[in-house]
Structures are given as structure tokens and as C-alpha cells.
Amino acid sequence: MKLPSPRGPLSLAVIELLSSQVRENVGCDLAAPARSAIERSTDVLADEDVQLALYIMYELFYRGFEGVDDDWEWHPDVLLARGVVERAMEEDLASRVAVPSDVSPERSAVAAALFTLTAPGPGPSVARYVARRATLEQLRELLVQRSVYQLKEADPHTWAIPRLVGRSKAALVEIQADEYGGGDAGRMHCELFARTMRGAGLDADYGTYVEQIPAVTLAAVNVMSLFGMHRRWRGATAGHLAAFEMTSSLPNRLYGDGFRRHGFDQDTTWYFDEHVEADAVHEQIAGRDLAGSLAQLEPELLHDILFGAATCLYLDDLVGHHLLSAWEAGVSSLRTA
């Protein structure tokens, strides 16, 4: 994966720094442009410069970039700058996301609250639009938008495994094992998604379309990394994954219908069809055994669990609104050069 083009002063500073060798940059002050970017930003979640910079800093912990020194991953100046942006993200989300109150930390009560929170609403739906109306080009756009996460599906949530114990840990491992194909590389969900991309005539190489991904989509992926990479947010990771799984089965059925409507074969729709069945099981495990058991074991994490779930839904709505607004207006949802 190549470093993307900058979208402003902060992402430019990050890219220029990572393009050099660590030994040549002792005591670099990346936190200063990070603070300046946050001060200038009127909407952190929609800020192209801020979200791209954060995405790049997080990607150092996944597959990295061509020609970038691996030692940047844990470089203190990069971590300091990342922390500046993370704090701004956390504060912004805390002010926007409504968290259910009066929920008991009992396993069954938490699960019930999550099922209520994630129940389908009557409003506009990307999945319904795809099933009934999306053009072939819009289907391809959907895949491009989703590729920034789906080609590394499960990885951000996997960070939480060593931070959990008992039933919640076992539940997370059970879900993630399915996501990784149960030991069969060809059935890994990221590989199934790559099949879908190739079937739709797209490039399935990791990171190919980052240049075209708007800030709001990057923000949704960045929040997964934010929660996953911090032990203090282990509750939010559990809640986020629970909401993610609970809102997956029905939409994926509709996505599959949309692709079948345009004549795509079973190999191309396999990714969606797999999730219809798998996530119907995962939602029960995630709601009861992962999130519910964690809240019962560590009741002080209850708010974070619900916050993680509500944040997942909030960002999914933001991305969905972006997609539908563009498509209804007859324009692309992607960034153009």
C-alpha cells in the first residue's frame, strides 16, 4: 500500500515525516500541526485532513506503507500527534452520541438494550436502496466505500482479545474465528469481499481506493481502531462489535439482492450471503456472551459498552446519509481528484 496524497497541512506533515527515516527525525514536533488542525476544524468527523492523517497513523499498526520505516509505528512523536486527534474525536463523539440510560449491568438486560438499540428503523436505508434502485456504478461505489474496512475485516476488533477474560473473551474469539474463515484462508471474510470486488470489475488490492474515500467513511473505520487499540476502550470495542453484528444480517441479504438484480453470480454475492447466516448467529453471541457478560463481570464498563454500540450506529447513519444524498442527487459519493 502506497502513502496517499495529502488533504491538508496535518496529513501533509504526517506523510512527509513517514517518508523519511526515523533516525533522521529525532524530536520532530508532529503534535503542533495536529493541534492546529483540530483548532481549525469545524467538524472533526468530516474533516478530510484530520481523518486521513489519523487513518495513516493507524495503518502503521496494520499493514504499513511501501517505503515507510517500520520503526514509525511506535515513534513517540507520532503517538503524541495521534493522541491529540484521538482526544478531539472522543470529545466530539461524546457530545453527539446518545447513550441509553437506566440499563442494568446484568447480562440479559444489556443484551436486551442492545437489541432494542439496533432494531431496524423506518427511515431511509442504504441496503434497501441497493436492493431496489442502485445502478451498477453505485454498486461499485458501495464496494469501494466499504473496501477501506472490509479488506481488513475483523482486525480492529481483534485488538480486544488479550484485554478480555472469561466468557466475553471466548465469545470474541468465537466471532473472530468465523470472520477469519475458521482456519480456511479462502473463506476469510476479507477474502470473500475481495472476490466480490473482483467480480464487480474492481481492484481488490488492499488500500487501492484510499484516495477516493471521503472523511466520513474514514472516520467510521478510524473509530474502530481508536476503540480497539486502547485497553481503556475495551468496553466500547465490545459494544461496537455487538452493534456491528446485530445490524448485519438483514442488510447483507438486501445487498446480495441488489447485486443479483444486476446479474452477478453466486461467487460475487458469496460475501453477502455468508453474512446473512453467520451474523444471525454472531448477533446472539455478541449481544449476550460478549457485551452482556463483560458488563456483568465489569459493571463499570457498562456505559462504554453502550457508547460503543451507539457510536457504531451513529457513524453508520452518517455514512449512509452521505451515500444516499449523493446518489439521490445523481453524483458520486466518492472523492475525486
Question: Do residues 268 and 195 lie in contact, with contact meaning Cβ atoms separated by under 8 Å?
Answer: yes
**H helix or E strand, kind and range, residue 56:** helix 48-59
Phi-psi region of 64 (alpha: psi -120 to 50; beta: other; left: phi over 0): left
pLDDT for position 25: 63
The last residue of a domain, from among 96, 118, 149: 96
Residues 81 and 199 in one domain: no
Q: Count the Cβ atoms, other than its own, within 10 Å of residue 129.
A: 19
Residues 266 and 285 in one domain: yes
pLDDT for position 108: 96
Q: Please choose, from the candidates 105, 84, 316, the residue with its C-alpha nearest in 3D space to the C-alpha of residue 217.
A: 316
Question: Do residues 197 and 267 lie in contact, with contact meaning Cβ atoms separated by under 8 Å?
Answer: no
Residues 255 and 147 in one domain: yes
CA angle in degrees (0–180, nearest 5) for 318-320-324: 120
Q: Count the Cβ atoms, other than its own, within 10 Å of residue 148.
A: 21
Question: Do residues 314 and 114 lie in contact, with contact meaning Cβ atoms separated by under 8 Å?
Answer: no
pLDDT for position 53: 98
pLDDT tens string 73-83: 999 999 999 99
The answer to whether residue 280 scores a pLDDT higher than 90 is: no
Give the chain's domain count.
2
pLDDT tens string 299-332: 999 999 999 999 999 999 999 999 999 999 999 9
Instruction: Look up cell 431496524; give the residue.
Output: 120
| Cβ-proximal residues to 224 (8 Å cutoff; 6+ apart), any chain | 149, 156, 157, 237, 240
pLDDT tens string 13-28: 999 999 988 876 656 7
The answer to whether residue 282 scores a pLDDT higher than 70 is: yes
pLDDT tens string 126-169: 999 999 999 999 999 999 999 999 999 999 999 999 999 999 99
The answer to whether residue 36 scores a pLDDT higher than 90 is: yes
Query: What is the band of 178 on the pLDDT scale with cuts at 50, 70, 90?
Result: very high
Residues 85 and 164 in one domain: no
Instruction: Look up cell 442494568; give the residue.
Output: 104
pLDDT for position 176: 97
Q: Is position 4 within any domain?
A: no
* Collapsed DSSP state (helix, strand, coil) of residue 42: coil
pLDDT for position 28: 76
Residues 183 and 221 in one domain: yes
Q: How far apart are the first and last CA of the chain?
A: 19
CA distances from 82 to 158, 247, 276, 333 (A): 20, 30, 36, 27
The answer to whether residue 60 scores a pLDDT higher than 90 is: yes
- 17 is in which domain, residue-wise? 9-96
Q: Count the Cβ atoms, other than its own, within 10 Å of residue 253.
A: 17
Residues 132 and 81 in one domain: no
Residues 33 and 139 in one domain: no
pLDDT for position 26: 59
Question: Do residues 83 and 90 lie in contact, with contact meaning Cβ atoms separated by under 8 Å?
Answer: no
Residues 253-258: what's their mean pLDDT? 97
Cell for 185? 484462508
CA distances from 242 to 236, 276, 303 (A): 10, 15, 14
Task: Give the type of residue at 283.
Answer: E
Residues 92 and 111 in one domain: no
The answer to whether residue 43 scores a pLDDT higher than 80 is: yes
The last residue of a domain, from among 59, 75, 96: 96
DSSP code, position 184:
-
pLDDT for position 281: 85
Residues 40 and 151 in one domain: no
Residues 172 and 316 in one domain: yes
Query: What is the band of 215 on the pLDDT scale with cuts at 50, 70, 90?
Result: very high
Residues 210 and 65 in one domain: no
Q: Is 81 exposed, middle or buried (0-12, 13-18, 19+ CB in 10 A)?
A: buried
- CATH number at 288 reads 1.20.910.10
Average pLDDT, the chain: 96
Residues 198-206: what's their mean pLDDT? 98
Residues 163 and 312 in one domain: yes
Question: Do residues 51 and 38 lie in contact, with contact meaning Cβ atoms separated by under 8 Å?
Answer: no
pLDDT for position 75: 93
Separation of alpha carbons 151 and 215, rounded Å: 18
